[in-house]
Amino acid sequence: MRRLLEGAFAFLLRVRPLNLLRLVEPYRSFLEHRAHVILGFLTVTTWSAGTLSAFGLLTPVVATTRRILAAEWTHGALHVSVGDVIAFFLTIYLAFVVSSIVRVVLEEEVFPRARLRPGLPYALTSLMRYTIICLGFILAIAVLGVNFDRITVLGGAFGIGVGFGLQNVVNNFVSGLIVLFERPVRVGDAVQISDVQGEVRRIGIRSSTVRTWDGAEVVVPNSMLVSEKVTNWTPIDRRRRIVIPVNVSYGSVPDEVLKVLAAVAAQTPDLVAAPAPQPIFLGFGDYALRFELRVWTDRLDRVDGLRSEMGMAVYAALRDAGIAIPIARDIRIQQESPPADPTPSPRPS
C-alpha cells in the first residue's frame, strides 16, 4: 500500500497541473523523499497500532502513554507537563518548517511571476519568515501553558534590561528592519562601507555579510548601513560610468585627439548608447594636454575588464595616429656658487 501511494505521488508530480509549478522540477527528489519518510512513519504507526490491538495491548499502551505525557513538573504557580514540553518544541519546529515552505513558494512561484523591484523579494521573504517564526514562538508559549499576564510582566522587566545592556542589539535589529524596507542596499550590490569593499551576500535581521574582492566574508552590523556613509556601486538603473584619463603632448591637435577617443568608444562592445560616449578636453596640464573619455555600461560584471580594454585601445589608437604621450620629468635647477675672486686680498702691514 505504501509503495502504491509513493508511486501515485511521484506520478502526480510529473503530470498537470503540478508539473507546471516552478518549484516541482528542482525539488522533485526532495518532495519524493519527504513523502517516503511520512508514508513510512504512517505505515509503521498503523502496523504497530494494529498489532497491539490484535494482542489486546493497545488500550494499556495508550493509557500508559497518556500518564507519561500528563506527568507534571510544578514550581510555585507554574505547572508544566511532559506533553506540554513536547508540544512546545514541536510547535517551534513546525514554525520553522512552515517558514521554509513559505520562503520556497514565494521565491520559486510568486516572485518570478511578479514584476518587483530588485531587493524587494528578499525583503518580503525575510519579513514573512521572521513573522511566522515569532508567531510560532508565541503559540508555543501558549501551548506550554504559560500565563500571558506573567509574560507581560517579564516583558517589561526584559525591556528595562534591554534599555541598559542590549542597546546595540536592539539598534542593529531596528536598523535591519529599516534596511529591509527602505532597501538602500540589496543582496548582490557592490558596496563600500567604511574600509570594507565587496558584494552584499546576505542581509540579516541583526547583521549583514559582505564578501570582499579578496574573498573574505565580513560581518557588518546593520547599524552601519543606516548611520554611516555607504557607497553603492550598483545603481538602480544598472548602469555605471567608466572614465579613461588621457594625456597627450603639447603640439597635438585637440580635435584629432577627440576624434580618436570617439572612434575607440564606437568600436568598444558592451557600452550603452544613452548616455552617449563623451570625449572631453579638460585643459592644460603642467606637461601635457588633458583629456577624458567618459562612457557608460550596463555590464556591471565587466567594468574592470572594459576599463582595461579601452585603455589599451586608446594607447594603440594614439600611437597609430602619431599622437605622442608625454612622460613627466622632474626638472631641477642647481644654482652654482659664484666664482672665487682671483685678486688676492692685501696683507696687513
Does residue 345 lie within any of the structural domains?
no
| 67 touches 96 (CB < 8 A) | no
Q: What is the CATH number of the domain that holds 223?
A: 2.30.30.60
Domain that includes residue 7, residue range: 1-70
| Residue at grid coordinates 557592490 | 190
Is 148 inside a domain boundary? no
Same domain, 11 and 60: yes
326 within a domain of the structure (yes/no)? no
Residue 1 covered by a domain:
yes
Nearest to residue 101, comparing CAs of 52, 56, 136, 49? 136
Task: Give a yes or no: residue 227 inside a domain.
Answer: yes
Kindly state whether residues 304 and 246 are assigned to the same domain.
Answer: yes
Q: Which residues of the chain have pLDDT under 70?
A: 13, 18-20, 75-78, 116-119, 146-166, 235-237, 328-349
Question: How many angstroms separate the CA atoms of 315 and 304, rounded?
Answer: 17
Query: What residue type is assigned to position 284 of the chain?
Result: F
Question: How far is C-alpha 334 from the geometric centre of its chain's CA atoms?
Answer: 59
For 257, counting Cβ atoms within 10 Å of its Cβ (0-12 exposed, 13-18 middle, 19+ buried), the class is: buried
Domain boundary (52, 70, 88) is at 70
Q: Please, is 342 exposed, middle or buried when counting C-beta atoms within 10 Å of its C-beta (0-12, 13-18, 19+)?
A: exposed
Domain count for the chain, please give it.
Answer: 3
The kind and range of the H/E element at 280 are strand 278-284
CB 218 within 8 A of CB 212: yes
Q: Is residue 217 in some structural domain?
A: yes
What are the two backbone dihedrals, phi and then psi, of residue 195, each rounded to the nearest 5 degrees?
-100, 15
pLDDT digits (tens, 9 = 90+) for 174-225: 787 788 777 788 888 888 888 888 888 888 778 889 988 888 889 988 888 8
Q: Which amino acid is at 248?
A: V
Indicate if 247 and 316 belong to the same structural domain: yes
Write down the pTM of the prediction: 0.52
pLDDT at site 331: 47
> Do residues 64 and 3 share a domain?
yes
